Structure 1
Amino acid sequence: MALLEVNNLEVSFGLRQGAVKALRNVSFTVERGERVGIVGESGAGKSVAAFSILNLISRPGEITDGEILFEGQNLATLSDKQMRSIRGNRIAMIFQDPMMTLNPVLTLGQQMVECLQAHRKISTADARAIAIEKLRQVQIPSPETRIDQYPHELSGGMRQRIIIAIALLLDPVLIIADEPTTALDVTIQAEIMELLLNLCDSNNVGLILITHDLGVVSQITQKAIVMYAGRIIEQGPTKEIINDAQHPYTQGLINALPQQTVPGQRLNQIPGSMPSLQAIPSGCAFNPRCDFVMDECKTRLPEFTRSGGCSVACHMVRAMKQNPETVQPVDSSEEVK
């Protein structure tokens, strides 16, 4: 049994003009100790998928269909009280901005001790000792001193390490990291991602990494999920997707990476932009931006087709499988270093 199994998940938001679907038929699994990347542009539905797992979708949003099985239990049907025993305990989340996550008027120690005591019957002294050990694990220097400091006394990289330490406090089996390095400079980003990778490996913790950067996904994850307009359009082993992308959108994301461009030339980009949830095109949502669009793409939603170890929702890929001579294939990209 998979650690996490998401089946046919749908999330809708009620608006005055009517309900719009932010997620449509989203299905994927995460095994114990597995690292999974969810990638796509802003508005693809990545964060909504993450919040849905923890049942953090607030009104007017709601889960309208599907199931989220965590260790065999459907999280979509649990009450807020039942979910509180899972959030931060069995499943931890690392948010984008550490200053929005940490309480500025409490010391790090107060916040970490409070988190431990909310889930365990433990003395303040024991909780403080565990907190110091977790700070040491995330390579915070002089943790015995740092634990009594306030968030504003730390750098951005240090604050993000604190957030990771808090996520590890209760030894979760799954961590969801939502753009964990967005606000950090490039060198600190690399340090944080390496730290997260090592901690997951050493503790056999599953990781869902949400990002817009396929370069990060290629270095950290074992499986990649590509989303567009609230739907998964390609998923499979990360190495296979990076080196032989099948969906034109995935290919566009790879071609937009800086290392895919000749120095001195303009970066490649996908023309157009992500459609609004209120105006998703008929058929394949990517068809207005696709260089390989066919008539069928504009009228019918593509079903998933197996291509190697990947599943791809693309009419062109399906047509290539049925009759390779009549369809122009997507060019394979060079291997991303």
Structure 2
Amino acid sequence: MPLLDVRDLVVEFPTRHGTLTAVDSVSFTVDKGERLGIVGESGAGKSVAAFAILNLLSRPGRIGGGSITFEGRDLTKLNRQQMRSVRGNRISMIFQDPMMTLNPVLTIGTQMVETLKAHRDISDAEAKRIAIARLGEVKIPSPENRMASYPHELSGGMRQRVVIAIALLTEPALIIADEPTTALDVTIQAEIMSLMLALCKTHGVGLILITHDLAVVSQVTQRVVVLYAGRVVETGQTARVVHDPVHPYTRGLLAALPGEGTPGARLNQIRGGMPSLNAIPEGCAFHPRCDFVQDRCRAAVPPLDDFDGHRVRCVRADDLIAGAAA
């Protein structure tokens, strides 16, 4: 049984003009200790899917269908108190901006001790000992002294290390990291991702990494899910998806990486933009931006076909795999 099994998840936002579907029948699994990447542009539905797992959807957002089974329990059926025993305890989340996560008026130590005591019946002294140990694990120098620091006294990279330490406090089975390095410079990004990878391996923690950067995904994850307009368009082993992408959208994301362009030339880009939720095209949602579009692409939503464990939602998948598409 997978650690996490998301099946046919639908997330909706009712509005006065009708119900908008942000996540449309998305399915994926995460095994114990496995690292899964969820990739796509802004508006693809990555973060909404993650928030649905932890029941953190902002109103009027709601789960409109499907199931989210974690450690044998369907999280969509838990009440608020039962969900508190999972959120921040068995499943931790790391958000984009640590300054939005950390309380600016409380010391790092106070926040870490309070987090532990909210989920465990332990003394202040034991909670402090665990907190200092976790700060040391994330390579924060002089962790005993940093316990007395306030968030604004730390650099962006140090704040994100603190957030990672907090995520590990309760020894969770799964961590969801929502673009955890977006606000950091490139060298610090690499350090943070390397640290997260090492910690997940050391603790045997499952990881869902949400990002728009396939280069990061290729270095950290074992499997990847590519989302477009709320639907899965390609999924499989990370190495296979990155080295042999099939869906035109995945190909476009990879071609847009800086290393794929000609030095001195403009970067490659996918023409157009992600459709808004109230204007998702009929058929394949990607067809207005696709270089391989045919009339049948506009007719109906393609199925997610399986090619020996590599699943692709494209009516021209066979042609693209064979290199015969034009």
User: TM-score, length-normalised on structure 2?
Assistant: 0.98
CA distance in 2, matches of 1:248, 1:216: 20
| Deviation, structure 1 residue 179 | 0.3
CA distance in 2, matches of 1:201, 1:119: 24
| Deviation, structure 1 residue 136 | 0.3
CA distance in 1, matches of 2:120, 2:273: 47
* Matched-pair contact (CA < 8 Å) for 1:94–1:175: yes
Residue aligning to 2:315: 315
Long gaps (5+) in structure 2: none
Residue 319 to residue 305, structure 1, CA distance change in 2 (3 Å): farther
The C-alpha deviation readout for 1:10-49, integer Å capped at 9, x for no partner, is 0000111011000001000000111000000000000001
Correspondence 1:256 to 2:243: no
* Matched-pair contact (CA < 8 Å) for 2:229–2:275: yes
Correspondence 1:329 to 2:325: yes
Correspondence 1:266 to 2:266: yes
Residue aligning to 2:120: 120
2:70 maps to a residue whose letter is F
* Matched-pair contact (CA < 8 Å) for 1:236–1:310: yes
* Matched-pair contact (CA < 8 Å) for 1:246–1:312: yes
* Matched-pair contact (CA < 8 Å) for 1:112–1:166: yes
CA distance in 2, matches of 1:320, 1:274: 22
| Deviation, structure 1 residue 319 | 6.1
The C-alpha deviation readout for 1:156-204, integer Å capped at 9, x for no partner, is 0000000000000000010000000000000000000000000000111
Correspondence 1:161 to 2:161: yes
CA distance in 1, matches of 2:183, 2:276: 26
1:328 maps to a residue whose letter is A
CA distance in 2, matches of 1:242, 1:51: 26
The C-alpha deviation readout for 1:81-104, integer Å capped at 9, x for no partner, is 111000111000000000000000
CA distance in 2, matches of 1:35, 1:23: 21
| Deviation, structure 1 residue 51 | 0.3
CA distance in 2, matches of 1:185, 1:28: 31
User: TM-score, length-normalised on structure 1?
Assistant: 0.95
Question: Tell me, what secondary structure is at the counterpart of 2:254?
Answer: helix
1:194 maps to a residue whose letter is S
CA distance in 2, matches of 1:329, 1:134: 52
CA distance in 2, matches of 1:286, 1:72: 35
Correspondence 1:51 to 2:51: yes
Residue aligning to 2:243: 243
* Matched-pair contact (CA < 8 Å) for 1:240–1:309: no
User: 1:87-106 to 2 correspondence within 5 Å?
Assistant: 87-106=87-106
* Matched-pair contact (CA < 8 Å) for 1:305–1:318: no
Residue 200 to residue 310, structure 1, CA distance change in 2 (3 Å): same
Query: Which aligned segments of 4 or more residues in structure 1 are displaced greater than 4 angstroms?
Result: 318-321
2:116 maps to a residue whose letter is L
Long gaps (5+) in structure 1: 331-337
| Deviation, structure 1 residue 309 | 2.8
* Matched-pair contact (CA < 8 Å) for 1:91–1:174: yes
| Deviation, structure 1 residue 80 | 1.2
Residue aligning to 1:335: none
Question: Tell me, what secondary structure is at the counterpart of 2:316?
Answer: helix
| Deviation, structure 1 residue 72 | 1.0
Q: How many residue pairs align between the two structures? A: 326
CA distance in 2, matches of 1:231, 1:121: 42
| Deviation, structure 1 residue 77 | 1.2
